[in-house]
Amino acid sequence: MTTSQFPARFYPLPHTQRHLAYSEVGDASSTHVLLCLPGLLETRASFDALLQSAQGVRGLRVISVEQCGRGDSSPLLRDEGYAMSVYLADTLAFINQVVLREGGPVTRLEVMGTSMGGILAMYLAHELGSRVAGLFFNDIGLSLHWMSIYGLYDGMKVQGRLPEPEALAAQLNVSLGAVHAVQLPAHFDLPYRKDWKGMKFGHLLSHFEGPVRLIHGGASGVCPPQQVREMQQEFAQCEVFEVAGAAHPAPFTPAVCQFVLQALSQVPVDAAFTAAKQAREDTERGFWPWIKRRYQGATGT
């Protein structure tokens, strides 16, 4: 599914003529929010089953947002310049204005990320510190092996081959520029660690103290068993749910949706995030100025 059954809402990004599209269910004033970030060329529609299951759950607000050039979100100027730093800056702006609203209630923010969205969730947790209270990863581990990158495209193939870019863009409801960009090395322009095996992101969560949950496909080429073990070794209390026989990414079956909602209900809403702790974390990281500079360069502001 590439078109959401839920109506689109629009957030105008500051200093640009663009907007991000998102859907949400639940009480808009709830202090407990689950923010869902789609995968590489996914739209917010990929979370429709989860939003459907979350309707009517008291005290919970679930939001799915799509990145630029996907679904109903604006493409970038001239449909070029798509990169991870742009997605991260856009998402941070969205969180600060839509989720952690100034003057609104203190929010317990948990983030669910599929594939690329899961990697973005790690950067968000690193940047926002204790304001991210919990994480869900859909078929992505703390590292991404070079060979696994090819697995990101397996689900898009038809008879073993990727469709032409124009056909793929139409099929996935994304812009042509986004399709071209995700195939280029420059698309991943955030700082990361690497070794001969691949890209490593675990250091981004070295100070993360909230609950971590991993959903993975039993036949995934992106999050194979060694990635699951690595996550469990790093986070001893990590809850794992395997979707038997599923490739990448894991689908939001009724059982997966139940797992997510049950995991959320086990964590009490806690507004005890102190300004002093956050100020110390922001000073130590110094990460937002880098993102801000990169974002301004991408938008021409």
Q: Tally Cβ neighbours within 10 Å of residue 167.
A: 12
Task: State the architecture of 9-294 in CATH terms.
Answer: 3-Layer(aba) Sandwich (3.40)
Ranges in the chain, pLDDT < 70: 1, 102-104, 150-160, 267-301
CB 139, CB 217: distance < 8 Å:
yes
- Tokens standing for 44? 């917010």
- Tokens standing for 267? 């964590």
pTM higher than 0.85: yes
- Whole-number Å distance between alpha carbons of 126 and 281: 9
CB 205, CB 142: distance < 8 Å:
yes
CB 249, CB 115: distance < 8 Å:
yes
- Whole-number Å distance between alpha carbons of 12 and 14: 6
- Tokens standing for 147? 């060979």
- Whole-number Å distance between alpha carbons of 128 and 133: 10
- Tokens standing for 120? 């973005």
Q: Can you give the pLDDT at residue 154?
A: 59
Q: Can you give the pLDDT at residue 194?
A: 92
Instruction: Spell out the SS3 assignment of the chain.
Output: CCCCCCCCEEEECCCCCCEEEEEEEECCCCCEEEEEECCCCCCHHHHHHHHHHHCCCCCCEEEEECCCCECCCCCCHHHCCCCHHHHHHHHHHHHHHHHCCCCCCCCEEEEEEECHHHHHHHHHHHHHHHHEEEEEEECCCCEEECHHHHHHHHHHCECCECCCHHHHHHHHCECHHHHHHCCCHHHCCCCCEECCCEEECHHHHCCCCCCEEEEEECCCCCCCHHHHHHHHHHCCCCEEEEECCCCCCCCCCHHHHHHHHHHHHCCCCCCCCCHHHHHHHHHHHCCHHHHHHHHHHHHCC
Cα angle 170, 3, 78; round to 5: 50
Q: Can you give the pLDDT at residue 152?
A: 66
Q: Can you give the pLDDT at residue 74?
A: 98
Parse the chain into domains and list their residue ranges: 9-294
